[in-house]
Chains A and B, each alone.
Chain A
Amino acid sequence: MARHRRGVLAALAAAASLALLAACGGGGGDGGSGSGRTTLVVKTFGQFGYDELYKKYEAAHPGVTVKEENIAKLGDYAPKLQQWMATGRGAGDVVALEEGILTQFKADPGKFVNLLDYGAGSLKGNFLDWKWQQALTTDGKDLIGLGTDVGAQGMCYRTDLFKKAGLPTDRDQVGALWPTWEAYLATGERFTKAGTGAHFFDSSGSIYKNILIQQGDHTYYDTSNKLVMESNPGVKAAWDQTVRMITAGLSGNILSYSPQWNAGFKKGTFATIPCPSWMLGTIEKQAGPENAGKWDVAKVPGAGGVNGGSFLAVPKQSKHQKQAADLVKYLTAAQGQTAAFQAKGNFPSSPQAIDSPAVQGYTAPYFGNAPVGKIFGESVKALKPLYLGPQNNPINDEVTNALIAVEQGKLSPDAAWKKAVGDAKRLVQ
C-alpha cells in the first residue's frame, strides 16, 4: 500500500509541476509582480528591430523587464495568436498585429485594451492619418493598436531591360512615364512592342491591389461592414484596369514566391514589379551581387501605394495593462520607429519619423543608390484612409485567384469577375 501511495504522490507532484509550467508559459510575467519587478512579454513575428529600444526602456523604467517572444513566420504566428486570444491566456502583455489580422479583430474590439483610455488620443498627429484610422473602430470610440511600420511601396524596374526597349532609365524620368495606371499600361505596351523577350510585370495580383487602394475610402465593404463589392465602382474599375493589362500581354503570369519568380529577379524575366519596402532585401538576395545596379526604384503610378504593415496592441488578458500601454506608446513613437527602421529597415508610419534625416537621407546602394527613404515616404503620405472589412484578405485572395485564372486563359474576364463576386458573397454569408 505504501508503494501505492508513493505513486499517487508522484503523480500529484507531476501534475502540480505541469500546472506550474503551464502557468509560466501562459501567464507571461505575473510571477514577477510579487517581488516588485514587472515582466512585460511582447509577442512578435518576423523582425521588429526592437532589441535596442527594450534596453533603453528598461534603463528608463527601473523594475520593468521586457521580454520578446518571436515567431519567425506570420503564417505560424497568426493561428497561435488566435489561440491565445480565444482561450484568454498566453498572449502576454503586448501583441504585434499585422493589418489583415487587425481588421479581422476589429469586429470584436473587446479583446483588446482601448488605448484611448490610456491617453493615446493625443498621439493622433504622430501617425499617418490612414494608419491611425485603420486601428480605430468605426464609431471612433475604440483604438485597438498603434501603428508600427508600413509596407511603403515603390515600383522596382530593370534598367537594362528599359534601355533595351528604348525607354528612359533614370528613376525620375521613369516615374514621369506613369503618372497614372493608364500611362503605366501605355508604357507596358511600348515595352512589349520592343520585343525584349521579358514581360512587363510578374503577375497581376499586386498590380490590382495597388490600383484598388487608390480607389477612394472603401473597397469590398462599406463602413457598416456590408459587402458592396458589386456596387462599389472603384473595385470594378481596378479589376477592369488590371484585365486590360493582362489582355495586352503585359503579365508574365509568374506567381510570387514561386521558384520562377525568385529566378526572375536574376534572369530579368519581368521588367517591373511593385515593391514594398520589405521586398528590397528579397530582390537583392534573389538577383545576386552580379546584378547590382540593374534594379532601380521609381514611384508607383497613381497616388501612393502600400502593401502590409503592422500594429502593437495590448490584449485585455494582460495583467499589466497600464505599463504595457506605456511600452506600446514608447515603441511606436517617432524615435522608436526611426530606430526600428535603422535596425531592420521597417518603414515608419509616423510622419515625424518619415521626415527625420535618418529616413529621408536613406539610400539603397544595391539599387543604384536610389533615395528610397524619400520615394517610399512620398508614396505613403499620398495615400488616403481606406476602410477594410473583416473578410478583406480572403476576398482579395479570391479576386487574385480569379485574375490568375484569366492569365492562365482558363476563364474569360467576365466569367472570372462573376466567380470572384460569387466567392466573396459565400465568404461573408
Chain B
Amino acid sequence: MKRDLRLCLAVFLIGLSLFVVTVVRTNSVPRLMTFGNEEEGATSGWVLYSDFLMFDREFSVNIRTNNTVNVYILDDGAVKQWRIDKSVNAVWAYEDVVAGVFSEQSNGRGGYAVLVYLPEDSVTVIKVVLTFSGFEKDLLTLSSMMIGIGILSTTVLLIIEQKNKKT
C-alpha cells in the first residue's frame, strides 16, 4: 500500500477511534455534581464550595433555595483571585435567584468552583446541581475533523490513482 494512502487511512481510523472514545466518554465522565448546605455547610454569607473538574460539555445549573441568592461559577484563575482579594470574576453568574434551571455550554476543560452569596440576615438552605450532558465538544470536533480529512484525502488519492491508471 502506498505510504500517502496509508497515512490518510490512518488519520481516518484514528479519527474514528477518537469518535468512539467521545461516545464512550459520555458515560464515563461525571454527569451530576451537587453543591449545597442541605446536610452541612454555612447557611449565610459567601460560601465557596470545593472545586471540580469540568469537561467541555453542555450543562445545566439547577438552583433551589428558600431565599434570594447569588450563584457564581468561577474558573481556576478566578478561584485563585477570589482567595487572594475576594473579587468575583465569574464565568457564569446568576444573581437574585430563588430557583431556576439554566442551560450553559462549557468554555473549556479545567478546574471550576461554585461560589454562592447567601443573605446574612437569615438562614438559607441552598442546593446547586450541575447536570452535564452530551458529547465533549473539543473531542467531537477533533474526531469529526480527522474523519472528514481522512475520508476526503483517501477519496482524492483513489481518484488520482484511477486517473493515472487510465492514462
- Tell whether A pairs with B: no
